């Protein structure tokens, strides 16, 4: 179908215009005098594009805030921006057709609230940075929803199963079914998929354009540490994928399921990863019945960022690294590269008055010898006032050339030693540090009641999930268990045998620890905690790192078993920027044109169409009723 033919057939009153963005990370590095404003400036530009393009709604893919409990300054600035750009007298053109009690836990769609004056409704899920935490499991998005600024959807309090009921919106002849899946640990989500406990409810009648918004690992980071696209149902038309920070906003078709995936990426660089240096964008999604197009908008207020990796071995002859002051030679080489990168960064200046001028520079130098490295912090001090990140501008990555040796029989002891060395070298997570401390601590510094495993679980929940109640809950639980044990043998206790009595308590530590996990999980589910438990220990776990302290500083022989490896938690990743390295547009051609084969459509879903100027707006129509009947289970098979 030609563009001219389409323009005559498409009525703007039947076309939804939606601005999409993700991973805004408001409040990132907000106390930094140089970079503290970056996240707010970029978010304001996103809202300006929504206003200027007269969109019907805004969809955010999670991580609106950088932390779950943002500062009052961040919350205040966010609400001011939403109040400035999203409130107004413009009539809403979207009819809301689904059951609001199914779509929103404790609120209604904000533009049907008589106390609010919404001009552009915002729909948002939460991500791993702004997920519910602390007392009551309240997210920062809950606060925005309560105050009517955001329609917060896709939040799950019962993580034993997931049943997603879509938000049903209609504009003229175009009908949209919007599914939301806020962040859930990839490991837990994988388990729910494997146990057939994830469902999507599909509208009963035909003609719906189906969009799913989610916030998970997209890049393969190991088994159960990402969400494979093939797990999603084939009846979807478009997936808006948050969490990954590199911008791949041009829709890419999944060859197996035939839906398209748009990955908006972040609007601010939260790490100096290569994926973060890709141009930042938001996009205008236009939907007309079964057709859609997505027009990227390059953000003009994003701080320039140039990333480059240099393999020093390729310049070894030129630099004569086998003689003289090698370190100084490498430092001079790095200075030349940094100057080149600063010049390239000037090409990313857009002329926008609000765009920060000092660039982010990251030069990663791959070296083969330690002698080739220089003091990067001291080197960066010379660029203060010229770059935004002088303290971490240069990093080194050591590349080791491995020589093949003759094949030898496997030495099991050598393999175990190598594994242990590797484990010790990579044990950098906070809970592993705590675990190793209590394992290696002097006898007089060992725990008497709590176990090392309980302390690692406490550390994990406080560091990874910012659970402020974990310490109180765990300590009180162990106190109750220890007192119950002592009460049971109260008649036999005296000052001389207290250590032996406590040793009896420690002998059933595995059961106590697993009961503690059940208690924590129960509290988490009641409060809507989206994060996974550590899980109970099997019979193969032979030690909890617990060595009760006795009054003569000797260690109880009943706990002399070797230390069990700390369980590795998956699915959350670092709390910095994500930025996967996959290349963009791997399966699209042009602006996403191409046939949606196998779906029985005569024209492409992403076929380009022209949208003329909008006619006078219509007021919103209130509707009730579910209008949903068919339940569809998500599996690896196409549910089309």
More confident residue, 584 or 314: 314
pLDDT of residue 542: 38
Range 115-119 contact pairs with CB under 8 angstroms and sequence separation of 24 or more: 115/148, 116/87, 116/148, 117/87, 117/88, 117/89, 118/86, 118/87, 118/88, 118/92, 118/148, 119/86, 119/87, 119/88, 119/89, 119/90, 119/92
Helix (H, G, I), strand (E, B) or coil at 149: coil
Q: Flag whether pLDDT at 352 surpasses 70.
A: yes
Judge whether 190 and 224 are in contact, CB under 8 Å.
yes
Distance, CA of 84 to chain centre: 28
Question: CB neighbours (10 Å) of residue 319?
Answer: 15
pLDDT in tens, 423-457: 444 444 566 677 677 766 666 666 767 777 777 77
More confident residue, 290 or 482: 290
Query: Best-predicted range by mean pLDDT among 146-150, 484-488, 544-548, 621-625?
Result: 146-150
Q: Flag whether pLDDT at 389 surpasses 80.
A: yes
430-440 helix and 452-465 helix, angle to the nearest 10 degrees: 160
Looking at every residue in the chain, the average pLDDT score rounds to 78
Task: Out of 60-74, 302-316, 470-484, pick the least confident.
Answer: 470-484
Distance, CA of 333 to chain centre: 37
Task: Out of 85-94, 281-290, 359-368, 441-450, pick the least confident.
Answer: 441-450
Outline which parts of the chain fall under CATH 3.60.21.10: 12-298
pLDDT of residue 417: 61
pLDDT of residue 37: 96
Beta bridge partners of 124: 60, 152
pLDDT class for 608, splitting at 50, 70, 90?
Answer: very low
Task: Out of 213-227, 282-296, 607-621, pick the least confident.
Answer: 607-621
Q: Which residues contact 323 (CB under 8 A, 6 or more apart)?
A: none
Task: Out of 520-529, 539-548, 597-606, pick the least confident.
Answer: 539-548
Q: Among 3.30.70.20, 3.30.110.110, 3.30.70.60, 3.40.50.300, name the CATH number for the domain at 305-398.
A: 3.30.110.110
Q: Flag whether pLDDT at 197 surpasses 60.
A: yes
For residues 127-146, average pLDDT: 84
Which three-class secondary structure string do you get for 164-232?
A: ECCEEEEECCEEEEEEEECCCCHHHHHHHHHCCCEEEEEECCCCEEEEEEEECCCCCCCCCCCCCHHHC
- Residues labelled as active-site residues: 129
pLDDT of residue 125: 95
For residues 468-478, average pLDDT: 80
pLDDT in tens, 15-72: 999 999 999 999 999 999 999 999 999 999 999 999 999 999 999 999 999 998 899 9
Distance, CA of 486 to chain centre: 45
More confident residue, 462 or 73: 73
pLDDT of residue 454: 78
Task: Out of 41-55, 211-225, 280-294, pick the least confident.
Answer: 211-225
* Side-chain-facing half-sphere of 208: CA atoms under 13 Å: 23
Task: Out of 313-322, 426-435, 529-538, pick the least confident.
Answer: 529-538
pLDDT of residue 186: 87
For residues 379-400, average pLDDT: 91
Q: Flag whether pLDDT at 601 surpasses 60.
A: no
Q: Flag whether pLDDT at 463 surpasses 90.
A: no
pLDDT in tens, 179-196: 999 999 888 888 888 888
Give the angle subtended at the CA of 468 by the CAs of 467 and 474, to the nearest 5°: 85
Q: Flag whether pLDDT at 406 surpasses 70.
A: no
Q: Which residues contact 426 (CB under 8 A, 6 or more apart)?
A: none
- Distance, in Å, from the CA atom of 530 to the CA atom of 387, rounded to the nearest integer, reads 39
Element (H, E) at 327: helix 326-346
Outline which parts of the chain fall under CATH 3.30.110.110: 305-398
Q: Flag whether pLDDT at 569 surpasses 90.
A: no
Architecture of the domain whose range is 12-298 = 4-Layer Sandwich (3.60)
More confident residue, 585 or 269: 269
pLDDT class for 478, splitting at 50, 70, 90?
Answer: confident
Question: Cα(first)–Cα(last) distance of the chain, in Å?
Answer: 25
pLDDT class for 513, splitting at 50, 70, 90?
Answer: confident
At 469, list the tokens.
Answer: 């109640």
pLDDT of residue 416: 61
pLDDT of residue 560: 32
pLDDT of residue 570: 41
């Amino acid at each position: 179908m030609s563009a001219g033919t389409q323009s005559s057939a498409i009525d703007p009153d039947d076309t939804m215009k939606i601005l999409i963005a993700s991973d805004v990370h408001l409040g990132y590095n907000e106390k930094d005098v140089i970079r503290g404003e970056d996240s707010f400036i970029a978010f304001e530009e996103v809202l300006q594009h929504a206003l200027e393009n007269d969109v019907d709604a805004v969809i955010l893919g999670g991580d609106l805030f950088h932390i779950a409990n943002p500062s009052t300054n961040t919350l205040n600035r966010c609400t001011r921006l939403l109040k400035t750009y999203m409130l107004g007298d413009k009539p809403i053109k979207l009819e809301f057709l689904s059951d609001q009690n199914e779509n929103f836990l404790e609120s209604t769609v904000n533009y049907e609230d008589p106390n609010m004056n919404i001009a552009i409704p915002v729909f948002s899920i939460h991500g791993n940075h702004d997920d519910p935490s602390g007392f009551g499991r309240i997210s920062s998005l809950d606060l925005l929803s309560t105050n009517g600024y955001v329609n917060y959807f896709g939040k799950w309090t019962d993580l034993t199963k997931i049943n997603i009921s879509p938000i049903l919106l209609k504009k003229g002849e175009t009908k949209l079914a919007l599914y939301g899946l806020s962040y859930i640990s990839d490991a837990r989500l994988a388990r729910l998929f494997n146990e057939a406990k994830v469902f999507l409810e599909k509208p009963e009648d035909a003609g719906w354009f189906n969009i799913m918004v989610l916030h998970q690992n997209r890049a393969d980071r190991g088994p159960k540490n990402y969400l494979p696209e093939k797990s999603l149902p084939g009846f979807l038309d478009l997936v808006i994928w948050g969490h990954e920070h590199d911008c791949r906003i041009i829709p890419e078709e999944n060859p197996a399921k035939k839906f398209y995936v748009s990955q908006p990426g972040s609007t601010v660089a939260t790490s100096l990863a290569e994926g973060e240096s890709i141009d930042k964008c938001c996009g205008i999604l236009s939907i007309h019945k079964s057709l859609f197009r997505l027009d990227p908008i390059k953000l003009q207020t994003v701080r320039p960022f140039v990333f480059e990796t240099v393999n020093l071995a390729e310049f070894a002859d030129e630099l004569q690294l086998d003689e003289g002051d090698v370190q100084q030679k490498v430092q001079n080489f790095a200075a030349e590269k940094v100057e080149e990168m600063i010049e390239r960064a000037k090409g990313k200046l857009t002329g926008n008055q609000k765009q920060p001028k000092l660039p982010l520079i990251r030069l990663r130098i791959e070296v083969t010898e330690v002698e080739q490295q220089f003091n990067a912090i001291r080197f960066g001090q010379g660029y203060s006032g010229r770059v935004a990140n002088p303290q971490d501008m240069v990093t080194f990555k050591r590349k080791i050339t491995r020589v093949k040796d003759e094949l030898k029989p496997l030495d099991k002891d050598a393999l175990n030693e190598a594994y242990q060395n590797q484990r010790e070298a990579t044990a950098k997570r906070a809970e592993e540090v705590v675990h190793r401390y209590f394992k290696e601590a002097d006898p007089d510094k060992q725990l008497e009641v709590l176990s090392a495993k309980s302390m690692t679980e406490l550390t994990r929940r406080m560091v990874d999930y910012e659970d402020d109640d974990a310490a109180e809950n765990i300590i009180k639980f162990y106190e109750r268990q220890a007192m119950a044990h002592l009460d049971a043998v109260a008649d036999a206790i005296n000052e001389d045998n207290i250590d032996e009595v406590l040793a009896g308590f420690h002998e059933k530590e595995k059961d106590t620890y697993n009961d503690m996990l059940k208690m924590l999980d129960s509290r988490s589910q009641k409060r809507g905690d989206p994060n996974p438990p550590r899980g109970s220990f099997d019979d193969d776990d032979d030690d909890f790192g617990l060595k009760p302290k006795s009054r003569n500083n000797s260690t109880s022989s009943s706990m002399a078993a070797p230390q069990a490896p700390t369980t590795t938690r998956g699915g959350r990743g670092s709390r910095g920027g994500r930025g996967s390295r996959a290349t963009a547009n791997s399966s699209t051609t042009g602006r996403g044109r191409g046939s949606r084969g196998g779906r029985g459509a005569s024209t492409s879903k992403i076929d380009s169409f022209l949208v003329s100027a909008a006619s006078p707006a219509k007021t919103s129509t209130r509707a009730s009723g579910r209008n949903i009947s068919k339940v569809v289970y998500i599996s690896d098979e196409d549910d089309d």
